[in-house]
Structure 1
Amino acid sequence: MPDDFSLYDARPWQAAYDSTLCEGLDGKRPDILQAFLAHCEVGGEAIAIRYFDRLISYGELDEMSSHFAAWLIRSGAVQGDRIFILLQNVPQFAIAALGAWKAGLIPVLGNPMYRQDELGKLMADCEPSVILCHPSQRPAFEAVAGERTILTTTAGAMQSRGDPRSIPADEPDETDAFMAILGTQAHEGSLCERITSDPALLLYTSGTTGVPKGAMLTASNLSYNAA
């Protein structure tokens, strides 16, 4: 596989799980967002994400996620709300998760292979206030999401050479609402306070032996994994 096909240096959560994020924090294991921000202070110019011809530094990742956090707050999201993220392996995945943490929301991660009936069950269970997905998934969400806000973003939005390997041939042509948000004013207030026992991530089981069940990971769970 050619080097330029690597969507990330590693997995999507590498920027948040890298053990180096917790170095120099006096042996403490803060929540994962504070660990990320501490790394930005000392290594903001370092590359966090490589996506085709796009390089994103930790500083840029911090700034873009703050823009998204600001939008969530202006849109009325409050601490404890859920945001359902159903994306492929794209930079927007990390931006949305970090922005959600900054605004106090809980990311709920979904499998892009979910069908409408599966999404309906998960929507009823986790009751997200915001949904982020690719345009091709919007119809399924519109059928089950009710009045919830649905944002879309494309796989090709963060690379400029039009590489067909990142852009599905059947992806609908529509405005990239998520990328438009990243160009709006960032939040200048303080970040949401989160204690280590607060939920920071919601993952669902596969459902192979029954109805998928939500597993809640706390802020301390994630920071422990990173330490």
Structure 2
Amino acid sequence: MNASSLYEQKPWLALYPPKQPAEITPQFSHMLAAFEASLQRDPEATALLYFDGKLSQQGLDQAAQRLAVALHSRGFGAGDRLGLYTQNNPAFVIGLLAAWKLGAIGVCINPMNKARELRHVLQDSGATALLCLDQLYLDVARDVIANDTPQVATVITCAARDGQSLDDARVFALGERLSAPDGVLDLQHLIDTPVDTTLPRPTLGADDVALLTYTSGTTGNPKGAMNTHGNLAFNAQTYRDWLGLTPQDRILGLAPLFHITGSVAHLSLAMLVGCPLILAHRFQPESMLDTLRMHRPTFTIGAITAFISLMNTPQARKDDFASFRAIYSGGAPISPATNAEFEKFSGQYIHNAFGMTETASPTHLVPLGKRAPVDPHSGALSIGVPVFNTTVWILNDEGQAATLGEVGEIVDRGPQVMRGYWNMPDATTAAIPDGRLRTGDVGFMDGDGWFYLVDRKKDMINAGGYKVWPREVEDVLYSHPAVREAAVIGVPDDYRGETVKAVVSLKPGADVSPEDLMAHCKAQMAAYKYPRIVSIVDELPKTVTGKILRRSLR
């Protein structure tokens, strides 16, 4: 058997649970139909939980319909783009649903973006309407729109405190609610005001773009991935069927909604299943623990750094996590030591997930109830197995299918792969030259069909001609009892060209020297791999999704 045939025969299917199919047929071709089915099934069912606030399926539909009417009256319609520049609050969900009701496209914008970054997204997407937090409008968006993006004709502001009354000062500022400036619409006023909500029915299909989700911009400006309705409907159903979720479940919105994980594994999934989505504005560990106690979620997925933070918060107790029947983590590799420590503390095993913006979240998941194996050579924890309808290859440096255990680039083909990059045909062709997505991630498959992530191609360190993958060094650092978080980078070295540097933060009360950490690594790995420089810091830089930013450390 040649190597290519090995992947096409999908050996990983043997790892699926006995009654789990190899392929699924999408129940819906677009996300508006998925939401409408849940609405029709039980209009009074809870759609959103926001601190002590609650919004039913019918309430969510009415709010989105009224916003859609306001947008439509201002000439906004099918194919137009609505920027969503807010945190994990009901406004994001209402705004995206309103866009879909008009056949329009949501543009996900990181609420941490400053003027330069917001300007790029608005200009690149051609957004003509923007829904944003009131404070973000005053601090950032107002000047950007006035000076650089005049095509943004409609602005709607929302307040973080709308839709709840707990007013948790740990996650948003208290005080008087900001009034919408002249010419700016107020979301709460719109959804509180009865109007004629008759709208033309949009024509939507699987190939229509549902979201423009911008990449993190590791090479040049961020690119807008065109995630279609078919991508979202398929992957939301993948999560539902993989985990057996029902309307009785409760999904914790731990990942940011602007991120593809939040958009699919929280928002789209909750719409499809018809179960409550629990939102908490932004991640703050003590407040998030209160949210767990109040709403008792059954499923979540988030960055491993969020789980590390919750586990190390002094108020955390094992019972806080008792309601979960499935926890997954994606966005960054998990070290086996961290996973074991979290399970010992919480009683919950974290299942790995793997995907990217360009694949609308998952291409790989660890089957529910199974434990990901650890590769004995690299110490890496498996990222799981390819999900339904998906074929994954490992391609070597010559572009040929790699043999078992051989390291190469991870390449995906499946219904979740994006349509391409917005207005970037050359970049689209480079990323998907033959219908298969080149991920830029490096990994391998073992003989049972488990996949392992080694690292990003660009992060490889060349130390005197030897390849060093930061991920392997980080896993060894995480096995030290004092280490809370770790990141490894290559830095210039006169003798070796590059050498290995580790930047770590410590657990509360821990005391360890850089020399101790170097010795810990030296004892467990080849001489060319262990860090020659160790820096101890209070906090490592992260994206808003919790992914550690190696490029900032460089």
What TM-score, normalized by structure 1, do the two folds share? 0.82
Match of residue 111 from structure 1: 110
Distance 1:127 1:101, change over 3 A: same
Match of residue 232 from structure 2: 222
Of residues 183, 188, 196, the one that matches 2:206 is 196
Equivalent residues in 2 for 1:135-146 (5 A)?
135-139=134-138, 140-145=140-145, 146=149
Please give the alpha-carbon distance, in whole angstroms, between the structure 2 residues aligned to 1:173 and 1:183: 17
Find the residue that maps to 1:55 and give its secondary structure: strand
- Answer 1 or 2: higher relative contact order, Cα 8 Å, separation at least 6: 1
Question: Which of 1 and 2 has greater Rg?
Answer: 2
Please give the alpha-carbon distance, in whole angstroms, between the structure 2 residues aligned to 1:133 and 1:171: 18
Q: Among all aligned residue pairs of Structure 1 and Structure 2, give the percentage whose two residues are the same amino acid.
A: 35
Equivalent residues in 2 for 1:6-85 (5 A)?
28-85=27-84
Match of residue 168 from structure 1: 173
What's the CA shift for 1:226?
2.0
Whether the 8 Å contact between 1:204 and 1:212 is mirrored in structure 2 is yes
Whether the 8 Å contact between 2:26 and 2:234 is mirrored in structure 1 is no
Whether the 8 Å contact between 1:49 and 1:56 is mirrored in structure 2 is yes
Match of residue 127 from structure 1: 126
Distance 1:173 1:209, change over 3 A: same
Whether the 8 Å contact between 1:155 and 1:166 is mirrored in structure 2 is no
Distance 1:108 1:48, change over 3 A: same
Match of residue 150 from structure 1: 155
Whether the 8 Å contact between 2:50 and 2:89 is mirrored in structure 1 is yes
Please give the alpha-carbon distance, in whole angstroms, between the structure 2 residues aligned to 1:103 and 1:211: 29
Please give the alpha-carbon distance, in whole angstroms, between the structure 1 residues aligned to 2:199 and 2:130: 24
- The structure that is helix-richer by fraction is 1
What's the CA shift for 1:170?
8.3
Whether the 8 Å contact between 1:68 and 1:186 is mirrored in structure 2 is no
RMSD, aligned α-carbons:
2.0
Cα distance per residue 1:7-49 (max 9 Å; x no partner)? xxxxxxxxxxxxxxxxxxx963221111110111012111111
Please give the alpha-carbon distance, in whole angstroms, between the structure 2 residues aligned to 1:81 and 1:27: 26
Find the residue that maps to 1:182 and give its secondary structure: helix
Please give the alpha-carbon distance, in whole angstroms, between the structure 2 residues aligned to 1:171 and 1:215: 38
Please give the alpha-carbon distance, in whole angstroms, between the structure 2 residues aligned to 1:65 and 1:172: 22
Please give the alpha-carbon distance, in whole angstroms, between the structure 2 residues aligned to 1:167 and 1:186: 34
Whether the 8 Å contact between 1:66 and 1:186 is mirrored in structure 2 is no
1:193 partner amino acid: T
What TM-score, normalized by structure 2, do the two folds share? 0.35
2:133 partner amino acid: H
What's the CA shift for 1:53?
1.4
1:199 partner amino acid: V
What's the CA shift for 1:187?
2.1
Cα distance per residue 1:110-154 (max 9 Å; x no partner)? 111001011111111011111111122114212222432222111
Find the residue that maps to 2:66 and give its secondary structure: helix
Distance 1:53 1:128, change over 3 A: same
1:178 partner amino acid: L
Please give the alpha-carbon distance, in whole angstroms, between the structure 2 residues aligned to 1:171 and 1:214: 36
What's the CA shift for 1:172?
7.0
- The structure that is strand-richer by fraction is 2
Find the residue that maps to 1:210 and give its secondary structure: coil
Residue segments in structure 1 that go unaligned for 5+ positions in a row:
1-25
Distance 1:156 1:29, change over 3 A: same
Number of residue equivalences:
202
1:192 partner amino acid: P
Match of residue 530 from structure 2: none
Deviates more, 1:114-123 or 1:171-180: 171-180
Of residues 166, 182, 186, the one that matches 2:191 is 182
Cα distance per residue 1:137-180 (max 9 Å; x no partner)? 11421222243222211100111343324432588722470111
Whether the 8 Å contact between 1:156 and 1:166 is mirrored in structure 2 is no
Please give the alpha-carbon distance, in whole angstroms, between the structure 2 residues aligned to 1:208 and 1:102: 33
Find the residue that maps to 2:173 and give its secondary structure: coil
2:207 partner amino acid: S
